[in-house]
């Protein structure tokens, strides 16, 4: 379909999932919140400037957040990027991040 000089395609198929668990009241007053996110763009490419869909792109994110009482929090996250060919600029930029926070 052509509209205003732009080609409008059909909705693009993709797969998005989020799994988050909660473990409260562990020994020592600790609470754990593990989470997994998986994204997979199955077919098609969004046009620029909004490139939010790239065929073949896969993103996996694993996160673990821990709360120690009411004051301390710590977290660890791993992000893995793959697929999408040369259109996916993050495909080789896996990363790990960690933090510790104190609320006062």
User: pLDDT digits over 29-42, tens only?
Assistant: 999 999 999 988 88
Q: Report pLDDT for 1.
A: 43
Task: Name which of 3, 14, 17 is nearest 40 in CA terms.
Answer: 14
Domain range list for the chain: 13-102
pTM above 0.75, yes or no: yes
Cα(10)–Cα(104) distance, integer angstroms:
51
Average pLDDT over residues 32-57: 82
Mean pLDDT estimate for the chain: 85
Task: Name which of 101, 98, 97 is nearest 72 in CA terms.
Answer: 101
**Is cis: bond before 49, omega within 30 of 0?**
yes
Q: What are phi and psi of 85, to 5 degrees?
A: 60, -150
Q: Report pLDDT for 2.
A: 42
Query: At residue 5, does pLDDT exceed 60?
Result: no
């Amino acid at each position: 379909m052509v509209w205003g000089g732009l080609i409008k395609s059909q909705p693009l198929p993709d797969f998005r999932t989020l799994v988050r668990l909660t473990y409260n009241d562990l020994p020592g007053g600790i609470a754990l919140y593990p989470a997994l996110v998986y994204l997979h763009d199955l077919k098609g490419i969004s046009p620029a400037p909004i490139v939010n869909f790239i065929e073949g792109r896969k993103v996996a994110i694993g996160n673990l957040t821990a709360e120690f009482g009411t004051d301390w929090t710590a977290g660890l996250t791993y992000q893995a990027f793959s697929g999408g060919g040369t259109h996916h600029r993050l495909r080789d930029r896996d990363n790990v991040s960690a933090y510790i926070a104190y609320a006062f």
